């Protein structure tokens, strides 16, 4: 199962990619989650909506330009650089 965040005419939605198309994780006809991060944060409920979308199949075509970063509001990002030569003093 490939989870993605799609741009849908100015709004975003968590979706599942299958068979050359995308199926949005819906909640009563509207997107249930704005991005993959929200879907994963919902736990088992979010994964169940993703599985339901996958079982429905590809509902809409998408272009690669519609793909957004999976988590739109990641919070803190911590990076450590270890790929440098250590200088002796």
CA distance 53 to 13: 12
6 within some domain: yes
Task: Tell me the per-residue pLDDT of 12-64, one tens digit each, with 9 for 90 and over.
Answer: 999 999 877 898 998 877 888 999 999 999 999 999 999 998 888 767 888 88
Model confidence band, residue 6 (pLDDT cutoffs 50, 70, 90): very high
Domain total for the chain?
1
Which residue segment(s) compose the domain that 45 sits in?
Answer: 2-68
Secondary structure of the chain in HEC code, one letter for each residue? CEEEEEEECCEEEEEEEECCEEEECEECCEECCCCHHHHHHCCHHHHHHHHHHHHHCCCECCCHHHEECCCCCCCCCCCCCCCCCCCCC
Given a cut of 80, whether residue 88 has pLDDT beyond it is no
CA distance 41 to 55: 21
* pTM (predicted TM-score): 0.76
49 within some domain: yes
CA distance 70 to 54: 17
85 within some domain: no
Model confidence band, residue 84 (pLDDT cutoffs 50, 70, 90): low
86 within some domain: no
Given a cut of 70, whether residue 89 has pLDDT beyond it is no
């Amino acid at each position: 199962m490939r989870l993605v965040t799609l741009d849908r005419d100015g709004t975003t939605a968590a979706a599942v990619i299958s068979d050359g198309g995308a199926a949005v994780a819906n909640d009563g006809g509207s997107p249930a989650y704005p991005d993959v991060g929200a879907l994963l944060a919902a736990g088992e409920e979010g994964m169940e909506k993703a599985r339901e979308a996958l079982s429905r199949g590809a509902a809409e075509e998408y272009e690669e330009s519609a793909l957004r970063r999976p988590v739109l509001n990641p919070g803190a990002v911590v990076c450590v650089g270890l790929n440098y030569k250590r200088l002796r003093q």
